[in-house]
Amino acid sequence: MKKQLINYETLLKVTKAISHSKDPEEVALMTVESIKTALGVKGCALFLFNRKNNELQLATSYGLSDEYINKGPVSALRSIAQSLEEGPVAIYDVTDDPRIQYPIEAQKEGIASLLSVSIVVAGNLIGAMRVYTAEPWEFTLEDVNFVQSLAQVAGMAINMARYTKGLKSSIDVLKTMREVQTHRSTRRTPYEGVPISVPSD
């Protein structure tokens, strides 16, 4: 019961903090730190899915070494691909499972078990959350639900933050265009009155 209370408190705390943040990097880091601390595991990482090359690109991590983080590209087709298509995947022994893309590097990092859950927003896969343990770990349904909940909340926040940033950028561009147009309309030139050609779409 105590562990459940800790997880619910963490979920509430992170959800509240995320709702006040508009920075996707901050949201991602806050989430992986919270999962790592609440479960007492070795580390946690959040990946974003790149559709162009079918890779999972690291957004942020907590508790993992730079050497392990920079081990090489993580293929969405080779690295626990099942978790992206069918749901959460828990691996008890990372050194003896064909779904692990970098088993030697994982062993060197001191990783024993791993949990991978997909992050899906509005029906679209946007990434994955992975939890790493130093000791062999039988992930419970409670563990999986907790990680999934935070992963989904983070996914929605990141997606919204991306949209907000993109919208702000568009607004800034429009403002700049208006300023240029206003400046042009008030400026007198020798060519005043000559039609300005506008390139067609």
Locus of tokens 């050609």 = 197
Q: Is the pLDDT of residue 189 over 50?
A: no
Smallest CA-to-CA distance from 130 within 78, 80, 55 is with 80
Question: Is 156 a domain residue?
Answer: yes
Q: Which residues of 33-50 are buried (b: 16+ CB within 10 A; e: fewer)?
A: bbbbebbebbbbbbbbbe
40, part of any domain: yes
- Of 8, 54, 71, 57, which Cα lies nearest the Cα of 34? 8
188 within some domain: no
Q: Between 185 and 24, where is the model more confident? A: 24
Contact 109/64 with Cβ under 8 angstroms? yes
Rounded Cα gap, residues 120 and 103, in angstroms:
26
Residues forming a β-bridge with 129: 46, 117
CATH number at residue 17: 3.30.450.40
Residue 142 covered by a domain: yes
161 pLDDT above the threshold of 90: no
Domain count along the chain: 1
| 199 is a domain residue | no
Q: What is the pLDDT of residue 168?
A: 61
Q: How far apart are CA 7 and CA 147, in angstroms?
A: 10
- Report if residue 125 sits inside a domain: yes
Establish if 177 belongs to a structural domain: no
pTM for the structure as a whole: 0.76
Q: What is the mean pLDDT of residues 135-144?
A: 93
Domain of residue 57: give its range.
2-164
pLDDT > 70: percent of the chain: 75
Q: Is residue 43 part of a domain?
A: yes
Does the pLDDT of residue 102 top 90, yes or no? yes
Look up tokens 């880091």; give the residue: 29
